[in-house]
Chains A and B, each alone.
Chain A
Amino acid sequence: MSIDAKAAMQAPPRLRRISVTGQLPIVTLLALAGITSLLTDRFLSPINLANLLVQSSIMSVIAMGMTFVIVAGGFDLSVGSVAALSGCVAALVMLKTTIAGGVAAGIAAGALIGLANGLVITALRVNPFITTLGTMVLVRGVVFLLTGGQAISGTFGLPDPFVRFGAERVLGVHALVWVPAILLSVLSVVLNLTPYGRKIFATGGNREAAYLSGIRVNVIVTSAYVWCGVLAGVAGVMLAARLQSGQPTAGEFYELTAIAAVVLGGAGLHGGEGQLYKSVIGVFIMVVLGNALNLLNVDSYWQRVAIGGVIIAAAAVGGIRQR
């Protein structure tokens, strides 16, 4: 086929793809930010904006991992516990060896739990919800056994460069913010621009069709859980740096926030759909909403009511859109 014919064939779809409904998450975020900035001038202050980025950074990393699993047609409730485990393992190992050793051990712990989740779900065919509910509780127990319920910071605190990573700026931007920024660009390429990434979408879209097309669906699904575990591990290490210690109670309810963010990003929970950047936008929506309610001095009990309502509203809009 000639180049021209191909170009002609592709022109209309390209136009069609830029639809308003597909960009709903970003529209929501901009509307939210616009309204908030009208109600209070503190919202657009440099300090507040920088603060928003830092607050979003750790959750963004977790939400990216969750996106892998949800696109592959799965679900992971264990990410909060895994983040706590990774943070504590990183702190413990760091105090005995080097910073690099600690970071590697923390992320490896996350990868291991992800691998375990994936193997139980694919090889033993246990429902993902039940499996990860189990690991969520189990891993939290392991964290308490490992730490004796105490925060891990050593006698003289965690090594200085590690603590500085959790607080200082690089090129004018908080160091913690660089982590999701770099991960987002690299992982977006993996998910969208490699045959491996297309297989994740296909497997989540119709597992049977992918299987009958020769795709090793069990390997693909397991790998998605490993990604999720690794990213939860990275988030746990970031959290330890920010808290200057490994906290056994850290990361509680992170799984719910992450799932909400992915849904706000328009992924739906049936698999085969989702984009990493949209999930990150979902995180921003959650964070900006919380920030706005804070700045407007809304009672913290009412904040929860509002955030819950927004999650349901977003899912409902997504549901109507699909019809």
Chain B
Amino acid sequence: MDGVARRFRDPREALTAGLVLIPQELRLVPALSVAENVMLGHLPSRRRLGLRVVNRRALQEQAGVLLARLGFRGDPDVRVDSLPHAERQLVVIARALSRRARVLILDEPTAALEAREVRRLFDTIASLKRDGVGIIYISHRLEEVLELADRCTVLRDGRVVAALERAAFDLTGLVHHMTGRDVEATSADPRRPGGAPLLTGEGVSLATGEVVAIAGLLGSGTDRVLRRLFGAAGAITVQRGDRRRALRGPGDGVDAGLGFVSADRAQGLVQGASVRDNILLAALDRAGRGPGGLWWSRAAADAIVCALMDALDIRPRDPDRAVRELSGGNQQKLLFARWLAAEVAVLLLDEPTHGIDVKAKAQIQRLIREFAERGGGVVFASTDFSEVLSTGDAVLAMRQGAIVARLPTSGLTERHLRATLQG
């Protein structure tokens, strides 16, 4: 740092040197106020009766100045857990500034932001840059890299494969470095008309062989629809094929041939358990043998697991490895494999390609199409509109918790979709 090699033994030393990491999971104390969170660790204090007490006025002022600099227009006295995600992110950045940060590391900061909020974040980044703060910006979204970066380092499989100046990189070049080869853009295949009805409920209707996308801005409730359809958000009745099914919980959902993948990968994975156990999590009874499937058969389990690891190209090909050692893309493919192992007919996927690399993203999108072509059906929610248009047959537009339109994707443009979503 500053031209000197520094060795940090712990985060505290890095903080003191002015280096601050802002992870995707924002580390805030939910029950404290916005101002307290901004000044956490060095709350201004004064002496009263020989005791050091928090100086609330100074706290308000100091936090207020920092927040105003970032364009935060809220009450610094409310509890921080009452704020939406984008505002909390500003609180975390304000805290970094309160520590006189000179280098900010932002890890996928736009992952949970909607377009307007991304704009504001970019403005904030530009103003921090003008003030002399260095920014390390980690992102899978290449258009962001192209817009923001003065210099770009590309990593693949944990290794640096390229370090480029602004003039030297463009979209295809970055994709090439990230994947090690040229990836052809996912083509819009000719869509076949849908077959027999597969699943109906919550305003969603899905036919055999169909992929339906749910598009909405953040907070529009797309994830809620998927969870409800799966039975994971209260009891519900759906039309599944030619039968009505009452779903009281995910157990009933799986019995009805539904599989759900949450947007938060950590929620779906048993991190300490093996790849084998994780793939079979929804199909443990299928690996049973003997009367009533009572015995768990390692051979039966491995037959299922190995075939799926091959088919989905899950790396490394080692069913004994702990899931936490896999990359995000491979973890996402594993969650996909889990429902193939359970032989479900309908997949409900929330942000299926969120936060994974370009290559794995293309693989997942292809798997979604293939799953439908083999007689299944997929409903997926996504805030990535190019994915919605390239992978879906039809798109359900959601606004404020309600489905406002069902549009065929052929002939639909991103601009039109965005306009529908914003109302």
Contact = CB atoms under 8 A, between A and B. Distances in A.
Interface residues of A, number: 32
Contacts of B288: 194-195
A9 B251 contact: no
Interface in A182-221: 192-195, 197-199, 201-202, 205-206, 208-216
A12 interface: yes
Contact of B262 (A193, A201, A210, A212): A212
Interface string B275-299: 0011011101101100001111000
A215 B317 CA distance: 26
Contacts of A9: 306, 317-319
Contacts of A202: 270, 273, 277, 281, 284
Nearest to A8: B317
A195 B284 contact: yes
Interface in B356-411: none
A320 to B, nearest CB: 17
Contacts of B307: 1
Contact of B320 (A5, A16, A216): A16
B295 A272 contact: no
Contact of B267 (A199, A201, A205, A208): A208
B320 A17 contact: yes
B255 interface: yes
A205 to B, nearest CB: 4
A197 B269 CA distance: 18
B271 A193 contact: no
Nearest to B260: A212
A9 B287 CA distance: 19
Nearest to A203: B270
A272 B272 contact: yes
B250 A214 contact: yes
Contact of B269 (A13, A206, A215): A206
> Which of A17, A209, A215, A216: most chain B CB closer than 10 A?
A209
> Which of B230, B285, B303: most chain A CB closer than 10 A?
B285
> Which of A9, A192, A211: most chain B CB closer than 10 A?
A9
Contacts of A76: none
B273 A1 contact: no
> Which of B230, B249, B253, B321: most chain A CB closer than 10 A?
B249
Contacts of B87: none
Interchain residue pairs A-B with the least CB separation, the first 4: A214-B254, A13-B320, A205-B270, A213-B282
Given A198-B296, A272-B273, 11 more contacts: A9-B319, A193-B295, A195-B296, A202-B270, A209-B268, A209-B270, A210-B281, A212-B230, A212-B267, A213-B282, A216-B251
Interface of A: 1, 5-6, 9-10, 12-14, 16-17, 192-195, 197-199, 201-202, 205-206, 208-216, 272-273
